[in-house]
Amino acid sequence: MSTHEPPGQGAITVDHLPPDLTRALYTHMRTARDLDAEAVALQRQGVFPAYVSVRGQEAAQVASAAALDPSRDFVFPTYREMAAALAYGVEMVAYMATHRALWHGGLYDVMESRFGAINAVVGGPVPHAVGWAVGERMRGGDGVALAYFGDGASSEGDVHEAMNFAGVYGAPVVFFCQNNRWALSVPNERQVAGGSVAARARGYGMAGATVDGNDAAAVHGAVTEAVARARRGEGPTLIEALTYRVEPHSTSDDTGRYRDEAEADHWRTHRDPVALLRAAMLGAGHATAEEADAIDAAAAARAEEIRDGVSAAPEPDGSELFTHVFRETTQELTRQRRIWEEEVQP
C-alpha cells in the first residue's frame, strides 16, 4: 500500500464530535478554501508576488490548530499554514499581508497571537518548537508547542536533531507532519526512506501515529490526544497526516513537468476534505443543508473582506528596509541608504 492510500476511501464520520465543534471546523475550512482561491487570484493580479496554496489540506490544518489552546500553546508554522492561522485566531489581514511582502515577516503580532512568523526554511520551525517547549517546561508552564512540517522537511537534519532532543528531554511538542505526497517535484518514494514518517517516532522514544489528513474528525482526535499527553508531562508525539497537495507547489510551479494530474484529480474529486466534512456534518444531523449553506455564504463574505483588507493595506515606507538590520548601522548600509535616497526614492 502506498503511504497515500488513506485508511478509509469512503466517507468520514463526525457522529462522535460535538455539533458546535463540527460546525466550527467546517466554518474555518470553508473560509480557508475561499480565501485560498482569493489569494491565488491576487497573485494573478500582481498584488501578491507569490502564494502557496493550502487547498486540499484544510482538514489537516484546521483540525490540528483547533485542538490547541491559543492562550497557552504556541504554533510554529511553515509557509503553507494559512488555514491553521485562521483556525488559531490569527488576525488574517495582517497574516495575508506577509504574502504581499509588505513588511519583514508579516504584520501580525507573533507574540500576541502565539503563532510564529511564516518560516520558509524547510524544517526550520521544528527545532524552534522544541526550543520553545523546553523553555516552557523550565519556566513551569503547561503550554504545548505544535510544529508544522512537510514530508520533504522530514529528511532535513534539523528535524532529526529536534526530534531526538525532544525525545531525550520529554519536551511538550506535537510534531505534525502534513505528508502531502510531494516536496515540490520530489514524490514520497524518493524522499521518505522506509515509507513512513510516523514510524520514526519509535527511534526517538516518542508516540507516533498516522492519520487520514483529509478527515477533520480523525485529525482533531489525534492532535487532542497528543496535546493532552504533552500537557501531562508525558512527552512529545509525532503525527503524520496523510493528505495531498492538489495545487502546484506555489504559484510559480508547473506540475506538468513532474506529475500526472489524474492523481491530483482523484484527490480533488474523491478526497476533498471540505466536501467530506460537509457530507458527514449533514449525515450526523449536526447541521441542516440550510445551515451549511449559510456557513458557506458567511465564509465567502469573510474571505472577500480579508482580500479587500489586504489589497487596501498601505505600502510601507521604503526607508524601513534599512531600519532594523543592525542596532547601530554600518558604513556600508549608510552608503546604500544614501544611494537609495538619491536614486530610487521617487
Ligand X SMILES: Cc1ncc(C[n+]2csc(CCOP(=O)(O)OP(=O)(O)O)c2C)c(N)n1
CA distances from 333 to 33, 322, 330 (A): 42, 7, 5
Q: Among 300, 264, 296, which residue's Cα sits nearest to residue 277? A: 296
Q: Which DSSP helix (H) or strand (E) runs through 54? A: none
Residues 226-245 that bind ligand X (CB under 6 A): 245
151 vs 272, beta carbon nearer ligand X? 151
29 vs 183, beta carbon nearer ligand X? 183
Per CB under 5 A, 183 contacts Mg ion: yes
Q: Which range, of 11-19, 181-189, 220-228, 307-315, touches Mg ion by CB under 5 A?
A: 181-189
Q: Which range, of 151-159, 195-203, 291-299, 317-325, touches ligand X by CB under 6 A?
A: 151-159
Task: Candidates 122, 147, 197, 299: give the one binding ligand X (CB under 6 A).
Answer: 122
How far from the centroid of its chain's Cα atoms is residue 94's Cα? 16
Task: Candidates 95, 132, 182, 267: give the one binding ligand X (CB under 6 A).
Answer: 182
For 145, the 3-state DSSP assignment is: strand
CA distances from 15 to 12, 255, 276, 280 (A): 9, 37, 13, 8
Which amino acid makes up residue 182? W
* CA angle (236 as vertex; 232, 242 as ends), nearest 5: 125
Nearest distance, CB of residue 337 and ligand X, angstroms: 29
50 vs 121, beta carbon nearer ligand X? 121
Nearest distance, CB of residue 122 and ligand X, angstroms: 4
Q: Which range, of 23-31, 89-97, 134-142, 178-186, touches ligand X by CB under 6 A?
A: 178-186
Q: Among 61, 67, 66, 104, which residue's Cα sits nearest to residue 81? A: 61
Nearest distance, CB of residue 241 and ligand X, angstroms: 12
Per CB under 5 A, 150 contacts Mg ion: yes
* Residue at shortest CB range from ligand X: 150
Residue 227 CB neighbour total at 10 angstroms: 20
Taking the C-alpha atoms of residue 179 and residue 162, their distance in angstroms, rounded to an integer, is 18
Per CB under 6 A, 163 contacts ligand X: no
Which residue's C-alpha cell is 480533488?
268
Taking the C-alpha atoms of residue 195 and residue 96, their distance in angstroms, rounded to an integer, is 34
Per CB under 6 A, 248 contacts ligand X: no
Residues 14-73 that bind ligand X (CB under 6 A): none
Q: Which range, of 118-126, 219-227, 308-316, 333-341, touches ligand X by CB under 6 A?
A: 118-126
Per CB under 6 A, 193 contacts ligand X: no
Q: Are 98 and 110 within 8 A, CB to CB?
A: no
Which residue's C-alpha cell is 528596509?
321
* Residue at shortest CB range from Mg ion: 150
Task: Candidates 249, 271, 278, 286: give the one binding ligand X (CB under 6 A).
Answer: 249
Per CB under 6 A, 152 contacts ligand X: yes
Taking the C-alpha atoms of residue 10 and residue 315, their distance in angstroms, rounded to an integer, is 47
Q: Are 78 and 125 within 8 A, CB to CB?
A: yes
For residue 184, the partner it binds in ligand X, Mg ion, none, with Cβ less than 5 to 8 A by kind, is: ligand X
Per CB under 6 A, 80 contacts ligand X: yes
- Binding residues for ligand X, rule: CB under 6 A, are 80, 120-122, 150-153, 180, 182-184, 245, 249
